[in-house]
Structure 1
């Protein structure tokens, strides 16, 4: 049965080019992950705050290296796109930002991020989210980006609001965390917001 509407973003839009580095213009760069980032990722995931809001733990540098390899491979499959957030001058890892649950045909993806303990309170997540959002809308042609966080995660709620993601509602008992089921805030931005 033929489709009445063509894809919002054609297949191959991501995988047809190398993953770009995205400067934020204010001291950060979103860059593709590299194998040598594994020790910094492992260190970041020793932070109890990351354990509170994430379902995964990096038990070793080797496990972090496996994650990085996964993050590097998803670009070609156009299922997700992951970037390291680094200081533009020193290349010090400050966090991660990415698009997951990518649906090119519908022009929709979910934006997610984390920051290292040392980067918190410096606007890193907001700046990285804003840069990735601009690229996703202006360069790739996504129509809608969603962002979810546990309702108890007030810092992520502030990031979402500062990055222009409107709160659309609460998904009850939507995500299982190590301490049980969490209600999740659903924020979104639509191209043109």
Structure 2
């Protein structure tokens, strides 16, 4: 896919560029990012270069992940927001997972929800995603709060879903459907009976 840029009231979401390496490196020194996000530890400058210069652009080129750097309009890095685990976007599955991290100094300002809303909207409208998933290790309450503010419906806990630092960990999973935002889906949806 051709890389895309999105804007919100306060943010610019764009593909990462070489000039972002230092900001990504600095953000990923935060112990909370290292605790919850599967990034190398310690996180060196070469790790930031690998992500910004190779992995993120490769994801766009190979349609394996669409990573946006989220920046304030003045150019300050807020975090990373993107779609991973893309499944059948050109076919029947039409699923993806929303993944993100937020720089420590930018938390608590609503930026991550704002960015998540923009990327989710783009996924539904431009890509035709019909099921957007959120997955995070049990205990990652910050990520869970963002997902809930976006309208994700918690579906439960999956045992041993995430491998982090060589250890399998339980994860919460939630989903957001276009119908949750009062939009239609191309594929008819028949919810299970709850009686």
With the shorter chain as reference, the TM-score category is 0.7 to 0.9
Q: What is the TM-score of this pair, normalised by structure 2?
A: 0.85
CA contact (8 A) 1:175 1:184 kept: yes
- Cα distance in 2 for partners of 1:63, 1:49 equals 17
Which of 1 and 2 has higher RCO (CA within 8 Å, sep 6+)? Answer: 1
> How many Å separate the matches in 1 of 2:62 and 2:48?
20
* CA distances 1:52-87 after superposition (whole Å, capped 9, x unpaired): 102223632232111112101211211110000000
Q: SS at the partner of 2:75?
A: coil
Looking at structure 1, the residues matched to 131 and 43 of structure 2 have their Cα atoms a distance apart, in angstroms, of 35
Q: What does residue 148 of structure 1 align with?
A: 135
> Aligned to 1:157, which of 124, 138, 144?
144
RMSD over equivalenced CA pairs, Å: 1.4
SS of structure 1 residue aligned to 2:179: coil
Residue 117 of structure 1: which of 92, 104, 107 is its match?
A: 104
Residues 143-184 of structure 1 show CA distances to partners (whole Å, capped at 9, x for unaligned) of: 110000112011111111001111011101211223843211
Displaced runs of 4 or more, over 4 A? none
Whether the 8 Å contact between 2:15 and 2:69 is mirrored in structure 1 is yes
| 1:8-37 deviation per Cα after TM superposition (whole angstroms, max 9, x unaligned) | xxxxxxx2xx3121002x201111110110
Structure 2 stretches lacking a partner, 5+ long: 181-195
| 2:44 counterpart of 1:83 | no
Gaps of 5+ in 1: 1-14
Residues 52 and 178 in structure 1, CA contact (< 8 A), matched pair in contact too: no
Indicate the SS of the match to 2:126: helix
User: Matched residues in 1 for 2:97 and 2:107: separation?
Assistant: 22
Normalised TM-score (structure 1): 0.86
Aligned length: 175
The answer for the alignment partner of 1:44 in structure 2 is 27
CA–CA separation in structure 2 for the residues paired with 1:60 and 1:149:
24
**2:44 paired with 1:60:** yes
Distance across 2 between alignment mates of 1:55 and 1:158 = 19
